[in-house]
Amino acid sequence: MNSAPQPNADQALAYPEPPAHPLWHQHGPRPRPVTADQQRRNRDLLLLELATRPHHPLAA
């Protein structure tokens, strides 16, 4: 059996955690969903960029 003392999760911290900023709790408007045409265009542009990008010598 381990005789080392176990840390107590209920123990008070040396410095209390500050309260969260009020903006952390605000939820803005939800983004519009991306349409199938936008997804296709984004995918095509990404593939084109990846195909024409010069390969970095250190990249695997």
Burial tier of 26 (Cβ tally within 10 Å: 0-12, 13-18, 19+): exposed
Looking at residue 32, its pLDDT comes to 93
Average pLDDT over residues 1-8: 57
Q: What percent of the chain has pLDDT over 90?
A: 32
Q: What is the pLDDT of residues 17-41, one digit of tens each?
A: 888 888 777 778 888 999 999 999 9
Looking at residue 43, its pLDDT comes to 97
Query: Could you tell me if 11 and 3 are in contact, meaning their C-beta atoms sit under 8 angstroms apart?
Result: no
pTM: 0.46
| Residue 45, both tokens | 């542009």
